[in-house]
Amino acid sequence: MANDESLKDEKTAEEKALDDWLPVTSARNAKWYYSAFHNVTAMVGAGVLSLPYALSELGWGPGIVILTLSWIITLYTLWQMVEMHEIIPGKRLDRYHELGQAAFGEKLGLWIVVPQQLIVEIGTCIVYMVTGGKSLQKFQESVCPTCKPIKTSYFILIFGSVHFVLCLLPNFNSISGVSLAAAVMSLSYSSIAWIASLMKGIHQEVDYSYRDKTTGGNVLNFFSALGDVAFAYAGHNVVLEIQATIPSTPQQPSKKPMWKGVVVAYIIVALCYFPVAIVGYYIFGNSVDDNILITLEKPNWLIAIANLFVVIHVIGGYQIFSMPVFDMVETFLVKHLKISPSTQLRMVVRFTYVGLTLFVAIAFPFFGGLLGFFGGFALAPTTYYLPCIIWLILVKPRRFSRSWWINWICIVLGVLLMILAPIGGLKTIIASSKNYKFFA
């Protein structure tokens, strides 16, 4: 394993200059705690507020088992990715697709990883546009319930305009302040959700039975809830890009501080996910909404603050998930289309991306429902089992060894999730389609 300097020496002056300009590789001076709050921001999305609803569709026993299994499996696969970051001596695999190329080959690795990674990252950015706009709307309604209603589209537009400024921050390290604020906010609104639920007390005539009257409906709801849980663990799609910002030497490889940050992040993830899911379902049963803040309703001032915290968090989350996309597009334009790196190029790329995600969010404010369907195809592979397949190829554990069995179990469970979650997501789309309004 070589240090950063020897790695740079193997590259041409042109490649060095490009590395110093691209968002993922331009700064390698991050500390372990950067990894912690970047991973919290990437992992703990506003989807945590839908976990009580997911638990109501899964049921007590299966729900807690699936939540716990997902936490364990995704922590394991994230550890694998951190370990494989420098598995090739003298080279750092700074991007997910570079890890895929190391395992599957230059061309096939790109085709396997990039489409799935882009679905997750672009889809999450669009969902965050919608979530940010709707949370702003809920904040305004909580603060001023007598004010004239304003269309959701205008709030999404207000939220999106912030990113035309923030998108010009050049790399991961430059958004560390935004990411730290987002991580603190995610812990804050998660705490508000379950503490306020506890204070409200158990709902009268609380019912823990499945919400659908038919077995078929409950099975499809179960599959849909699997997708909701999977969406809660989407951080793997940016983990190598985060690790790329940490310095590395033979004596102090980047995996040590990165793993320290990941462990802290996953403890925070558990402190957010499990209390919200369990307390929310315990208090409200199957009457809980798909956003527990809606179920809570009062006190107005607390719900207003929680929604404001959600807005601040998804601002940071949008930046975390958009940075690898910027890196891919800017790399393609400079390397393949031979466009010179410049501030003007960066502005065109990033303004275009923010504009497109903003347009889709305004046109399809129900995009979150669609992502449960499409996300199942991409979230399950990139998070639950693709790292295991790559581990089997690159690390080559002995057949029938403990590592071999663990990886194959994760692969089987991940493939099942990839098949079942979109089926439930499709049911949700069909059931909700009558309420879908374009440009709402």
The answer to the question of residue 294 being in a domain is yes
Residue 181 or residue 146, greater confidence: 181
The answer to the question of residue 75 being in a domain is yes
Percent pLDDT > 70 in the chain is 93
The answer to the question of residue 440 being in a domain is no
Cis peptide leading into residue 23 (ω within 30°): no
Percent pLDDT > 90 in the chain is 54
DSSP helix/strand/coil, 170: coil
CA 143 vs. chain centroid, Å, equals: 29
Contact 285, 207 (CB under 8 A): yes
Residue 366 or residue 156, greater confidence: 156
The answer to the question of residue 438 being in a domain is no
Residue-range definition of the domain harbouring residue 119: 4-431
Could you read off the pLDDT of 234-282 as tens digits, one per residue? Answer: 778 889 999 999 998 888 889 999 999 999 999 999 999 999 999 999 9
The answer to the question of residue 439 being in a domain is no
Could you read off the pLDDT of 319-331 as tens digits, one per residue? Answer: 999 999 999 999 9
Instruction: Taking residues 88-111, report their average pLDDT.
Output: 92
Structure tokens that stand for 14 in this block = 């042109």
Helices (H) and strands (E) in the chain, counts: 18, 0
Q: What is the dihedral of CA 320, 324, 327, 328, to 10 degrees?
A: -150
- What's the chain's length in residues? 440
Q: How many domains does the chain have?
A: 1
Residue 318: which CATH number? 1.20.1740.10
Q: Please give the Cα distance from 254 to 233 (Å, whole number).
A: 23
Question: Band of the pLDDT at 50, cuts 50, 70, 90?
Answer: confident
pLDDT of 337 above 60: yes
Could you read off the pLDDT of 206-242 as tens digits, one per residue? Answer: 888 888 788 888 888 898 888 888 888 877 888 999 9
The answer to the question of residue 12 being in a domain is yes
The answer to the question of residue 427 being in a domain is yes
Instruction: Taking residues 44-64, report their average pLDDT.
Output: 88
Which of 380, 372, 357, 358 has the alpha carbon at shortest distance from 237? Answer: 380
| pTM as predicted | 0.90
Could you read off the pLDDT of 386-423 as tens digits, one per residue? Answer: 999 999 999 999 999 999 999 999 999 999 988 888 88
Structure tokens that stand for 155 in this block = 């709030």
The answer to the question of residue 234 being in a domain is yes
Contact 354, 164 (CB under 8 A): yes
